[in-house]
Structure 1
Amino acid sequence: MKRIIFLMLIMIASNLLAQTLTQEMMKSENRPKSQFTEYEAVNGYIYKVGDKLKTGVGSGQNGMFLNVFEGSTLTGFEYCTNSMANIETEIKNIAVTGTKRTGWKVQMTCKHPTGMMNILIYLEDAILAGEIVSEGYTREKAIKELKEAKDLLDLGIIDQSEYARRREELSKYIIK
């Protein structure tokens, strides 16, 4: 009986420590401190530990990545070269770095394809630079999908209530 109660307390405590990192938490004056298992990006997509990220093309000279680093705590981290373009990597950890003066950044630690090192990604900067392929909606993608929904409404395939629901859902990505 004592073991069951002890195990239940451990399970409850681990759920209390794990939480979603949101944009409101990133804008706060104090650094968000916790064990984060999810991050809600600016585009509304929720990245979770265990999800796959796909790299794009580096935004630096000769295809070097400026927001994606490879290495380990022992050897140090260096910018990723263009050989890391278009690979998939798994998110291992979500953390917050930075200072009050410069602001907070979301740092994701991911598995390296070789398994010998880690990959560090400053997610929002990497998405803006095109170094990480975003899973969420961009403004252009939301406008395109809304136009398709309007065409479906005009053809009579969907009704007005379905169109209104889609418009409401997509408007938060179009109007920022």
Structure 2
Amino acid sequence: WIDAENALIAKLSAKDQESFFIMRNKHSIIRAVEVVERDVGAAVKSCGKANPDMKDKMTSRFDQWKDAVNPILDTARKSLEREINEQKIVDVGAAKNVLKLNDAAYKDGEKNMKKVPISTKEACEGLLASMNRTEDDMVTLLQQTLLPESVIRKRSDDADKAEGKKKESAKPDEKKKAE
């Protein structure tokens, strides 16, 4: 996928390359949320099987989790699809092909990982307790995919400037140490 992406963006300006990377990153965030949902679902199922007394509570909480995450996930998918179809930077079909190749590479890499869903009572209780945080995290990530490119660029520039100021303010300390 990397070679296909490099070929796709090779002749683009740096700004247009960044625009494509923003779309690709949005795609990756959406996929990551889908993976989290799948893995949490597998853990909930495993917990329910190993701990029948927790099954209803786990299933109910996961349903609430999905009810919070899935509407914004659907919106994010549709928004990205529209963004890809409306952009004029690269061929739409070629862009979608690169994203499919990226997905295939992810799935191939995932084959090398053996995921064993949790099942101990303590781990299942921890999962249940963490669902509020992960729900909030997933919604926040997905909301960021809905931001216009201009906002993403401004935030990135602001973060770079803040990092530059941190480095500059650290330099006087380095001078004092050298003296």
Measured against the shorter chain, the TM-score band is: under 0.3
Please tell me whether Structure 1 or Structure 2 has the larger radius of gyration of its CA atoms: 2
Q: Which has the higher helix share?
A: 2
Q: TM-score, normalised by structure 2?
A: 0.26
Higher RCO (Cα < 8 Å, 6 or more apart): 2
Q: TM-score, normalised by structure 1?
A: 0.26
